[in-house]
Amino acid sequence: MNVLVTGGAGFIGSHLAERLLLAGHAVWVLDDLNPFYHPELKRRNLAAIAALQRPFEFVRGGLEDSAVLRGLFARVAFDQVIHLAARAGVRPSLEEPEVCQRVNVEGTVNVLEAARRYGVRKLIIASSSSVYGINTKVPFAESDPVFAPISPYAASKLACESLGHVYHHVYGLDIAMLRFFTVYGPRQRPDLAINKFAKLITRGQPIQVFGDGSTGRDYTFIQDIVDGIMACTSQTFGFEVFNLGGSQTVTLSRLISVLEGALGQKAIIDRLPLQPGDVPLTSADLTKSHARLGYQPKVGIEEGLRRFVEWFRRQPLEP
């Protein structure tokens, strides 16, 4: 297959591009290498993909540039689009809500329009567990109400899900929306907690902990996420939403403890109040994903953090 991966130079996208290439597919990566974090980190990811010496092309461009998308779709007959590109994160979206909506929502419209106009029928689109908001029903199921997002980022992802349904209903596109639950592992973005904590702990600097450490996340190892995405590439759905989680909620206090053990070093804690937009708990109900995709996460938090730390210790100094 010819597969376009938007955001393919990033954390999840680069791992997925590698898996697709190793499975025998041709991959095009679209990424704007924006300075949300240092572009050199994404260039390292691209170099790792190119080193596989499989049919791969990198195209630099942003989702907001519909001309770049149209030109790419006109040039390449894609079989599938896996749309991962976004301005990610709850806290960045609180600081720049207009950027979040422009890239995530308008950008997704541009991707859907390019697919529709050039006859690409199948898309897999990244959503987020943040769409569940403060959900009192645990674990979170795809059928739960999701009408009360509490951050601009969550609202943007909910809008993308709605757009996906529209393009299926009106134009007949086959669309799978994947709600990712706190993905971690090698190549994790430097702004995310595990990567940020590891840097600070090893430098002997304090880590900022918002709240009393009782907030919980369904941490999901990167290879499990890629397994779930790959399972979607071989099926048709009409329109479906799937949770992809780790099936084990871990408190922030336990996460820090396990990370300390993997690093062999204690953390200095700078405790701060909870921040707006943060949800107290995420927990994925994987019943549907298991039944429809055969999805079964394999890597628990101890093993996942051990693998992360192995990768982390091999990295050069951050640019």
> Domain map of the chain by residue range?
2-181+222-247+281-297
**Which pLDDT does position 317 carry in this prediction?**
66
**Which pLDDT does position 45 carry in this prediction?**
97
222-233 and 11-22 helices, crossing angle to 10°? 50
**Which pLDDT does position 319 carry in this prediction?**
58
Would you list the DSSP string of 33-78?
--TTS-HHHHHHHHHHHHTT-SSEEEEE--TT-HHHHHHHHHHS--
Separation between Cα atoms, residue 151 and residue 276, nearest integer Å: 8
**Which pLDDT does position 279 carry in this prediction?**
82
**Which pLDDT does position 274 carry in this prediction?**
86
Beta-ladder partners of 250? 217
Separation between Cα atoms, residue 206 and residue 188, nearest integer Å: 20
Catalytic residues: 153
Query: Of the candidates 139, 210, 151, 118, which has an alpha carbon nearest to the alpha carbon of residue 181?
Result: 139
End-to-end distance of the chain based on CA atoms, in angstroms?
35
Residue with tokens 């679209």: 30
Below-50 pLDDT ranges, the chain: none
Separation between Cα atoms, residue 243 and residue 287, nearest integer Å: 9
Cα distances from 234 to residues 80, 285, 294, 297, in angstroms, run: 10, 22, 12, 19
Pairing of strands 249-251, 216-218: antiparallel
**Which pLDDT does position 103 carry in this prediction?**
96
Query: Of the candidates 115, 148, 112, which has an alpha carbon nearest to the alpha carbon of residue 131?
Result: 148
CATH architecture of 2-181+222-247+281-297: 3-Layer(aba) Sandwich (3.40)
116 sits in which H/E element: helix 107-117
